Amino acid sequence: MGIRQAVKATLSFPDELVRDPLYPRLKEHVVGSTGLAYYEDKDADLALRIGRRLSCLGLRDCSSYLHVLCDPLSGPSELEALIAEVTIGETCFFRHREHFDALRDLIIPQLIARNRESRCLRIWCAGCADGPEPYSLAILLKREMADQLRGWRVTILGTDINRLSLARARQGSFERWAFRSTPADVLGNCFLREGERWSILPEYREGVSFQYHNLVEHPFPSLMNNLFAFDLIVCRNVMIYLGPDRMRKTIVQFRDCLAEDGWLLVGPAEPNMTFFTSFRTVMAPGVTLYQK
């Protein structure tokens, strides 16, 4: 096959998948397994991403790919590979600075006052991608609230559906683009430059851990998976990819995972306040916050 023919075949492959009689069933399987209702009206984008996996496996149609996904032996590992293709992991350090201002000025001081006896602080970053968000929280707490938290046990848990993203998060090494919202002094004092990448210093890794978790398929709250009694849950720009029913259920589950008076931070583009009627709404400069 010549170069032009190969390019043309590659470009037409997603269209072929969408026309496949079993594409709706495959799409339902993907959305049901991931909760990514974002793709319900984006067939071309989803088919392009699925097509990459079919090309890797040497497959050409939805039937053969469904057979792989539904196989008890090959299915779980292939679903993970597909999740790596379909998840949108766009993030950066100190994204939406207003949230970090609210954490520093309002939320963390309240939590410190409330937890003064236990001297423990538990934070969950759900949908953490490759780690900038939990590490940003660690930097904020270490640099700006070190005196108040001296002697405390502070844990920050990052979870995600994408195992490849979690592996990168554990490495703690990032390209320059991840720091587009980061103050220069933070980059210079909290990271070590290694060629074209920057690695977070060990003191800002303390208390930060990562684990695999699927908000759609895995239970929470969960004592077994250490998903309970959080003082703060941060889940930003994740629920915008879920359908309304799944959003409502997830928000209820987050509330059940919070300690009394705990806080939930969501992205500025997340669902409107009618989804959060079981929370107390708190307005801060530039952001809306939710407290149990």
Residue-level pLDDT at 88: 77
Residue 7 has pLDDT above 50, yes or no: no
pLDDT in tens, 14-64: 788 899 999 999 999 999 989 999 899 999 999 999 999 999 999 989 999
Inter-residue contact 159 to 210 (CB < 8 Å): yes
What's the pLDDT tens digit per position in 133-165?
A: 999 999 999 999 999 999 999 999 999 999 999
User: How is residue 37 written in tokens?
Assistant: 């209702």
Q: Which amino acid is at 82?
A: L
Contact 87, 34 (CB under 8 A): yes
Residue 224 CA: distances (Å) to CA of 24, 69, 128, 286: 35, 27, 20, 37
**For tokens 């006052």, what's the residue?**
113
Task: Calculate helix-pair angle for 75-86, 163-171, nearest 10 degrees.
Answer: 70
What is the C-alpha to C-alpha distance for residues 258 and 122, in angstroms, rounded to an integer?
A: 10
Q: Are 149 and 141 in contact (CB under 8 A)?
A: yes
**178-195 mean pLDDT:** 96
pLDDT tens digits along 88-123: 777 899 999 999 999 999 999 999 999 999 999 999
What is the distance between the alpha carbons of residues 138 and 150, in angstroms, rounded to a whole number?
14
Question: How much is the average pLDDT of 163-183?
Answer: 95
| pLDDT score recorded for residue 3 | 42
Distance CA 291, CA 255 (A): 9
Query: Rounded distance, CA 158 to CA 128, Å?
Result: 5
For residue 214 the two structure tokens come to 């699927």
Q: Say yes or no to pLDDT of 229 above 90.
A: yes
Please state, in angstroms and rounded to a whole number, the distance separating the CA atoms of residues 174 and 92: 10
State both tokens at 177.
């683009």
Nearest to 240 by CA among 33, 49, 14, 36: 36
* Confidence band for 82, pLDDT divided at 50, 70 and 90: very high
With a cut of 60, say whether residue 2 has pLDDT above it: no
**Taking a C-beta distance cutoff of 8 angstroms, is the pair 127, 169 a contact?**
no
Confidence (pLDDT) at 65: 94
